[in-house]
């Protein structure tokens, strides 16, 4: 349905995330994957969704001069927010362990911001999901790090993986947002841009 409405538009997804790409496929959309490197550095004064908004917009800047009138560029960023601190992607095994230790027996927020850019407009929308973890043992944390891929995920975990099955006791908000893209928001905004 959405693909039909967007048939005169050219969607560009600027994300190397296989999870985000799959969501676009699941929506039945025709899209191009286009990647440009960007240093994901944000001003330290930013808080909460200001960080993910800033980074999602930052990722769109290298494409500005390339956009054609019928293009819709989609960039996105996800952070985990815990105790007034943003947790990004872990740098190594020790970093992943520390992150998961912090998340153990707490509730954190997963914030994903999505930036929609055309030649004439830009809109950034953030989605927040609250996730509660049980008390994780060191053995469980180490098992997850050794057997899964925490390094490309904000907060060092994927909700769709083993740890999501055994550790999450409560979720408030959209599940897909924690996977990496608030699909309901993307659908709504692309529908608006199809008009």
Q: Annotated active-site positions, please? A: 77
How many Cβ atoms sit within 10 Å of the Cβ of residue 29? Answer: 18
Token couple for 190:
């692309």
Contact 164, 158 (CB under 8 A): yes
CB within 8 Å of 137: residues ≥ 6 apart: none
126: which residues sit within 8 A by CB, 6+ positions away? 49, 52, 53, 111, 112, 113, 114
């Amino acid at each position: 349905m959405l693909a039909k409405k967007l048939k005169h538009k050219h969607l560009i997804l600027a994300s190397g995330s296989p999870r985000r790409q799959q969501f676009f496929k699941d929506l039945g959309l025709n899209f191009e994957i286009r990647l440009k490197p960007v240093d994901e550095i944000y001003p330290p004064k930013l808080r909460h969704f200001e960080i993910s908004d800033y980074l999602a917009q930052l990722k769109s800047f290298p494409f500005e001069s390339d956009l054609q009138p019928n293009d819709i560029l989609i960039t996105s960023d996800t952070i985990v927010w815990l105790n007034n601190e943003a947790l990004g992607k872990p740098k190594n095994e020790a970093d992943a362990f520390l992150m998961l230790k912090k998340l153990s027996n707490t509730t954190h927020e997963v914030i994903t911001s999505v930036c929609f850019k055309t030649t004439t407009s830009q809109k950034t929308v953030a989605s927040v999901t609250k996730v509660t973890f049980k008390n994780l043992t060191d053995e469980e944390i180490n098992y997850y790090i050794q057997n899964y891929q925490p390094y490309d995920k904000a907060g060092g975990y994927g909700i769709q993986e083993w740890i999501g099955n055994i550790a999450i006791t409560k979720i408030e908000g959209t599940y897909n947002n924690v996977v990496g893209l608030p699909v309901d928001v993307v659908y709504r905004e692309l529908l608006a841009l199809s008009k």
